[in-house]
Amino acid sequence: MRSNRRGIIAALVIVTITVAIAIIASHMTSQTPPDLPSPPMKTLAARHNIELGNFAISTYLDVPAYSQILSSQYNLALIDNTPNWYFTDGGLRPGPTTYNFATMDKVVSYAADHHMRTQAHHLVWGEDKWLPGWLKNGHLTSSQILAAMHDHISTVVGHYKGKVDELTVVNEAFTRGQHLYGLHDWWADNTGGMGYIDQAFIWAHQADPNAKLILNDFDNEHFNSISDAMYQYIKSAKARGVPIDGIGMQMHIDGTHPPDKNEVIQNMRRFGALGVGVYVTEFDVNMSAVPASDKARDNMAANIYYEMMRACIESGSCHSFSNLGITDKESWYNYMGPSMADARPLMFDANYRPKPAFFAFRNALSQN
C-alpha cells in the first residue's frame, strides 16, 4: 500500500513538473518577439502620409514581444479605455472633484519614450456603464451635468496639453442618437439633446488649441443614415465655427458583410471635402460568424485588411489607420460572450505570430 502511495505521489510530482515546464515554455514563447520583415509597416505608411496606430494597453507595455511590435511597427499610440470617466481600474474620474491620471500617465510616458504620437479615446462617451455612479445616479440637473463635463474636458485636456496629440472628443453620439442596436446616448438623454457636442469641442479646443479633435463613431465607413447624419452635422458645425478637425471611423468590420472598398473611398473623400481629416480609429475584423475553416477565415480577413488599407490610401483624405489590439488575446471581442469567442480579429495570434492579415496589410502599404 505504501509502495503504491509512493508511486502515485511520484507520478503526481512528475506531472506537476511537466505541466509547470510546459507553462513556462509557453510563457517564454509568448514573450519572444517575432522576426518581422523590413522596413517596418510605419515606414511604408509614412510614404503615403499615413500614421499607423495601435492600442497601447498599460498592462502589456512591459511584455517584450508586445512592446517591440507596438514600438517598431506603429507610430501612434492609442490611449483607449483609460480616458473613460469610469473603468475597471476605477477610472479617470472617481469623484466629482478627483482625478486619477496614473494609468493614462503611464501610456503617455511610454509613447514619449518610444517617439510615438498619441490619440486618446474618449473624452465624452454616452455608454452609461463607463460613467461613474456619482454622475449618472446623482440626480444632477442638465446644467450641472454640463458643468461636470466642462470641468472634465478642461482638466483632462489641460493636464495633457502638448502631450496628447489627438483626442476623440465625442464618441458614438450618432449611432446612439439613432438608437442603433438599441443603444442610447446618456449625455443627450440627460442634457436635452445633442447640443453638448458643440460645447465639448469648444471646451477641448480652449484647453489645448493644438490638439487634433475628432468626432468618432462606428458603422460610418460607408453611406448610410449614420454617416449622412455625421456629414450634415460636421458641415453645419464647421459653418458655426466649431473646431472639429476630423471624423473617426471605428471600423469594427463584420467579416460576413465587409464594406465595399470603392464606397469607403468615396465616403472618406466627401468628409475630406468638408475640410476634416479621416481617422480610422479602432479597426478589427470579426470573423466569428463566418462559416469556414480557421485558415480560410484568416485569408478572408487578410483580404479585408488589404482592401480597407487601400481605401485609406486611395481616398487621399485618410490621415491614420489604427487597430484596436495587437494579438487576438487582447481583443475586446473576448469579453462579448461565447458567440465571439473565436473572432480572430487582429493581425497577430495569441503567441505574437503574424497572421495572413499582417502580410496583406503590409502589401497594401508597399504599393503606390
Q: What amino acid positions are annotated as catalytic residues?
A: 172, 282
Whether the bond into 39 is cis, omega within 30 of 0: yes
User: What does DSSP say about strands 277-286 and 117-125: parallel, antiparallel, or unpaired?
Assistant: unpaired
| d(C-alpha 187, C-alpha 184), whole Å | 9
| d(C-alpha 357, C-alpha 348), whole Å | 8
| Closest by CA position to 11, among listed 3, 172, 208, 224 | 3
| d(C-alpha 75, C-alpha 101), whole Å | 23
| Closest by CA position to 306, among listed 253, 237, 357 | 357
Grid cell locating 31: 514573450
Give the 3-state secondary structure of residue 159: helix
Give backbone dihedrals phi and psi of 285, rounded to 5 degrees, phi first.
Answer: -130, 115
| Closest by CA position to 277, among listed 168, 148, 121, 133 | 168
